[in-house]
Amino acid sequence: MREAILAVAGAKGPAVAFFHVGSGKHLGTVEVPAQPHDLCFDPVHRLVWTASAYRRGAYHSHGERATELTAIDPDSREVLEVVDLSPDHAPHGLAIDATRGLLYVTVEASPESEGGLVVVDTATRRPVRHLATGAPGPH
């Protein structure tokens, strides 16, 4: 059985920290392209997904919007892939459908794309669909 690991999104920088659940021991920190906003665990592929909504800051006090999702191996603490969602931007909430192999990512509206959901195939780690919701932007 694999050890239980806790992933924590960095609130003040572009990093995700990993801790051993039983002991609390810090196992390492992984740099990501932009400040992480949300995390989601994919139990099928044993990956931690992080959404980087902004280059820095949060909600109504932020800098440039980011466009990346990052797939991290929690055991080796390595970035396996960075997925660019452009023209969609500011990915926030993440939800995994392990049965269908899909990751749902909320995104803010931009001049190039209507806000809504981006659907990512967890096997290929590629966006496969954009579901427009008419969401105007941040919260």
- Give the angle subtended at the CA of 6 by the CAs of 19 and 18, to the nearest 5°: 40
Kindly give the residue spans of alpha helices, DSSP state H, lying in 22-111: none
Average pLDDT taken over every residue of the chain: 87
Strand partners, 130: 118
Kindly give the residue spans of alpha helices, DSSP state H, lying in the chain: none
Output the pLDDT for position 1.
Answer: 60
When pLDDT is averaged across residues 5-26 and rounded to a whole number, the result is 90
Whether residue 139 has pLDDT greater than 80: no
pLDDT band with cut points at 50, 70 and 90 for residue 6: very high
Whether residue 124 has pLDDT greater than 90: yes
Closest CA to 56 of 108, 12, 10: 12
Output the pLDDT for position 32.
Answer: 92
> What are the pLDDT digits (tens) for 34-79?
888 899 999 999 999 999 877 665 555 556 778 899 999 999 999 9
Q: Output the pTM of the full model.
A: 0.88
Q: Which two tokens stand for residue 84?
A: 């660019």
CB atoms within 10 A of CB 114: 16
Output the pLDDT for position 30.
Answer: 95
Whether residue 83 has pLDDT greater than 60: yes
Cβ proximity of 31 and 15 under 8 Å: yes
Output the pLDDT for position 55.
Answer: 67
Whether residue 90 has pLDDT greater than 70: yes
Output the pLDDT for position 86.
Answer: 87
* Higher-confidence position of 137 and 37: 37
Q: How many residues does the chain have?
A: 139
Give the chain's domains with CATH numbers: 5-135 (2.130.10.10)
